Structure 1
């Protein structure tokens, strides 16, 4: 593209607000439309208590859910292609293994800090002793987490990582397991390394397909401001803020913990590693805002991966492995702060004294347990795993379900921030972070779509900079 053409294109776009501004406008409009929809009330309520939402709530629901569905449709192909390409391009299995172990160590370390903050807030604020929620709300959940979920989740049921479930009406719903796709992609990526030159035609196909999928992803991301209106509006319309009254202290404890991690721990880690706090949050903002309104780390994963590469300067070959891994195992909000505070809440509500060994178990489950529930989504699964490990009544889960969607917004945003932070820190400490990209002036777009990001194709044991190699999306 010539300089003149770029100038004309920039002039044509000048009338539009920046991408970040569009998302902020979407957030405000979502809240306003959600309040309007809530004030309209339901169209009808059946004798069994089922609510028929009004037309505005229904419209907001369709707009938001359609966007999340589009994102999830891209995830399986994106994860598989990106990881196969990144492992094949690394060429140095020892270097890749070193990055993987350091990534897992940072996942565990930051989770340990987060769960410690959660336990401290639970003991100081005493949310279970300061609640007006009725014991009648207690009820065991339909499903619970298990330590066997991790082992069974590692074994792919089929080559596509798909799962099928039958509904009561005879319908069959298909879903995918990101952890299984991750395992498949790692196996295929390593196999391409072992096969050698004979795998080159396959790698050319993978790189070409990855480029196409990334272009489709960009088109979907352009819809994010509109989707924000639907996602947040539906949450406000459906749940409102009424339930917060009876669980006010619990809500405060959760959001204070999330804020301490997001705006306290993460900035300190960035500073200790010589990175700008402002550049990190401005670069990760598209993923954080989408995570907040979508309440889905997996649905946000394509955006998290893109901003990590294009805004934060993490090599594509590494981030395409670390971010999907983090989307399934790195959850400081859902798997650390929330289960710690919630377990203490349940113990206090039922008058059960926790011993020092119980608190150590909370730490263990939070640091290790997120991997055990990687094949099953939802903070409720992580909470039931924690309660069952401590021997606390699972009926306590029912006390917290009323406000879970409101809490889940902050939890998911914190999860996504951690999933972008750890690869950035590891890349910086390994000397492979592109500081020019990280410190670049933000253009207002989600990321620089047309600017190539130089990945690290091979990593020597002592390498402190990217080595020359073709880009992941380029031909061999």
Structure 2
């Protein structure tokens, strides 16, 4: 009998996959298919959850088949992260205008990425205090204890090092090792290596124009090839989202989520405030924030559903260049560096909220000015090197909590609501990098305002 129910569960998933495929054949837009996959995943997950219960053996046996699609999709996203980050940053250097504007452009982008992360930390602190979040009030179950132990074990090597030593760890001693993602800071290592190659290209282009042209041609060819792979993976998004969301909903402990409801509300309140700050920055630069929301919408929806800033990079760059009039070099630079530097949601709001929540458990007054100023500074510095795929927020939390001498084990208390919050965090991360790109292009006078203000219906983003 169990086998029959198992087959029915798998058949139901395949039926929904077929429905999404049919929508693709009918040329339904990418964003509509992603949203449909999200909706179908929620509905199907609820059906399975209430039909079997989270402890059901049939449900547990069904999940590996859901993982075949969901986790398989995530694996493919992870596959393209390092090549995509590397070639996007290198290509950014071949597309930028060489001259005095380069330093200004790079400084503005990096300053905005880190600056908005510091602001996000302040927002996260405020949200924790306003909602009265306290880690000592959260009930710890087996899953939370296991997660906490895992985080504590992972943090052991980090906690032993002083902050300067942690910063040295960001440097790529062996860039080829970092391409494998072997270190927690591998992403920033690849970013730094690509940046060095980019600066080398700029030096060559001034003195050896013929060699520079050959290098640029090769980089452009590799960029086109990698983006071709990315487009193939992105076409699988609706199916991956369907399976991931269905699995998450079906196996979620709703009681645990309900008990952490205050943290979820506080998190999304903070995320909305930071997104509002992005819109204020856009407005202060003299652009229409509503236009920004409309044209960034598809990339933000993808980021929300996929929970991958790196996977969203092609849409992030295309939205800036094709819909908002940002030059290729600035869009690539902002999008690529935004994957590992200054992620407002994962590296700003989240670790700051955790630190304020956990502080009372060790007798630390979270309202103490010295504690708050130190926390904001450490969050900003630690935002360097946060990976753009799932797990980046955990690494950011480990760095911040370790530097603040707070117990990292308590971060495991939020395991049941992590996926729910991570969707919003990822969307805000992507918005932060796009805000940096658009604003920088506007300030440097390189933004094509005609493209920015053009009606959305006439523009398309490749997906």
Look up the match of 2:434. Answer: 420
- Which residue, out of 220, 223, 226, partners 1:213? 226
Look up the match of 1:403. Answer: 417
Cα distance change of structure 1 residues 265 and 424 upon mapping to structure 2, 3 Å threshold: same
Q: Distance in 2 between matches of 1:164 and 1:107?
A: 23
Q: SS state of the match for residue 180, structure 2?
A: strand
Over aligned residues, Cα RMSD in angstroms? 3.1
Answer yes or no: is the 8 Å Cα contact 1:326–1:419 preserved in 2: yes
Q: Distance in 2 between matches of 1:78 and 1:103?
A: 19
Q: SS state of the match for residue 170, structure 2?
A: helix
Cα distance change of structure 1 residues 17 and 54 upon mapping to structure 2, 3 Å threshold: same
Answer yes or no: is the 8 Å Cα contact 2:45–2:245 preserved in 1: yes
Shift of the alpha carbon at 1:300?
Answer: 2.5
Cα distance change of structure 1 residues 445 and 43 upon mapping to structure 2, 3 Å threshold: farther
Q: Distance in 2 between matches of 1:42 and 1:25?
A: 24
Look up the match of 1:265. Answer: 277
**Structure 2, gaps ≥5 residues long:** 1-22
Which whole-Å deviations, capped at 9, do the CAs of 1:373-405 have from their partners, x for residues lacking one? 569942222222222222222332232233222
Shift of the alpha carbon at 1:212?
Answer: 3.0
- Which residue, out of 350, 369, 377, partners 2:382? 369
Q: Distance in 2 between matches of 1:231 and 1:185?
A: 32
Q: Distance in 1 between matches of 2:329 and 2:130?
A: 43
Look up the match of 2:19. Answer: none
Which whole-Å deviations, capped at 9, do the CAs of 1:45-75 have from their partners, x for residues lacking one? 6xxxxx97232x3333222233333333333
Q: Does 1:177 align with 2:186?
A: yes
How many residue pairs are counted as aligned between the two chains?
A: 423
Shift of the alpha carbon at 1:218?
Answer: 2.6
Q: Distance in 2 between matches of 1:126 and 1:367?
A: 24
Q: SS state of the match for residue 134, structure 2?
A: coil
Which whole-Å deviations, capped at 9, do the CAs of 1:311-340 have from their partners, x for residues lacking one? 222211122122111110121111121112
Q: Does 1:54 align with 2:71?
A: no
- Which residue, out of 108, 114, 118, partners 2:114? 108
**Structure 1, gaps ≥5 residues long:** 1-11, 46-50, 166-173, 450-476
Q: Does 1:98 align with 2:107?
A: no
Cα distance change of structure 1 residues 226 and 374 upon mapping to structure 2, 3 Å threshold: closer
- Which residue, out of 434, 438, 449, partners 2:448? 434
Cα distance change of structure 1 residues 161 and 384 upon mapping to structure 2, 3 Å threshold: closer
Structure-to-structure mapping, 1:289-304, within 5 angstroms: 289-304=301-316
Look up the match of 1:34. Answer: 45
Q: SS state of the match for residue 371, structure 1?
A: coil
Look up the match of 2:200. Answer: 191
Cα distance change of structure 1 residues 331 and 210 upon mapping to structure 2, 3 Å threshold: same
Answer yes or no: is the 8 Å Cα contact 2:41–2:242 preserved in 1: yes
Cα distance change of structure 1 residues 392 and 425 upon mapping to structure 2, 3 Å threshold: same
Q: Does 1:385 align with 2:399?
A: yes
Look up the match of 1:341. Answer: 353
Cα distance change of structure 1 residues 339 and 159 upon mapping to structure 2, 3 Å threshold: closer
Cα distance change of structure 1 residues 132 and 184 upon mapping to structure 2, 3 Å threshold: closer
Answer yes or no: is the 8 Å Cα contact 2:307–2:422 preserved in 1: yes
Cα distance change of structure 1 residues 285 and 224 upon mapping to structure 2, 3 Å threshold: farther
Q: Distance in 2 between matches of 1:186 and 1:432?
A: 22
Look up the match of 2:318. Answer: 306
Look up the match of 1:461. Answer: none
Cα distance change of structure 1 residues 99 and 68 upon mapping to structure 2, 3 Å threshold: same
Q: Does 1:121 align with 2:127?
A: yes
Q: Distance in 2 between matches of 1:129 and 1:79?
A: 36
Shift of the alpha carbon at 1:91?
Answer: 5.1
Q: Distance in 1 between matches of 2:176 and 2:385?
A: 22
Q: Distance in 1 between matches of 2:313 and 2:375?
A: 27
Look up the match of 1:20. Answer: 31
Cα distance change of structure 1 residues 278 and 20 upon mapping to structure 2, 3 Å threshold: farther
Answer yes or no: is the 8 Å Cα contact 2:343–2:386 preserved in 1: no
Q: SS state of the match for residue 277, structure 2?
A: helix
- Which residue, out of 49, 55, 68, partners 2:74? 68
Look up the match of 2:169. Answer: 152
Q: Distance in 2 between matches of 1:382 and 1:14?
A: 41
Look up the match of 1:282. Answer: 294
Answer yes or no: is the 8 Å Cα contact 1:314–1:433 preserved in 2: yes
Shift of the alpha carbon at 1:159?
Answer: 4.1
Structure-to-structure mapping, 1:82-97, within 5 angstroms: 82-90=88-96, 92-97=98-103
Answer yes or no: is the 8 Å Cα contact 1:68–1:299 preserved in 2: no
Answer yes or no: is the 8 Å Cα contact 1:91–1:193 preserved in 2: no
Q: Distance in 2 between matches of 1:176 and 1:392?
A: 21
Cα distance change of structure 1 residues 66 and 20 upon mapping to structure 2, 3 Å threshold: same
Q: SS state of the match for residue 329, structure 1?
A: coil
Q: SS state of the match for residue 379, structure 2?
A: helix
